[in-house]
Amino acid sequence: MDQSFWVEALGLIAACLTTAAYLPQVIKTWRTRSAGDVSLIMYLMLTLGIALWLTYGLLIGSVPLIFSNTVTFALVGAMLWLKLFGRRS
């Protein structure tokens, strides 16, 4: 196996870990249906940043960037939906 395999593997592992970091917040917010303490501005900025990273990943053909940012975009989108349309606290 050449070095590029290990570089891609490292990227995929990092992508999985950083993407999975959003799961506890999404699960907690989904269960409680309360996103009152979640910053809307932060999630809007994060969503834009993730969309840009995803676009960049698509343009350069980077599987770790495409994979992680697609999943993260869905998780952050769920948080935004819960913030905007979930029960207010």
87 or 37: whose pLDDT is higher? 37
Q: What is the mean pLDDT of the chain?
A: 88
On the question of pLDDT at 11 being above 90, the answer is no
Q: Which residues contact 18 (CB under 8 A, 6 or more apart)?
A: 68, 72
Cα separation of 36 and 82, whole Å?
9
Reported confidence tier of residue 88, pLDDT bands at 50, 70, 90? low
- The pLDDT tens digits of the residues spanning 19-54 come to 898 899 889 888 887 888 888 899 899 999 999 999
Helix axis angle for 63-85 and 3-20, nearest 10°, is 10
Please determine, looking at this structure, whether the domain spanning 3-85 carries the CATH number 1.20.1280.290.
yes
Each domain of the chain, given as residue ranges in start order, spans 3-85
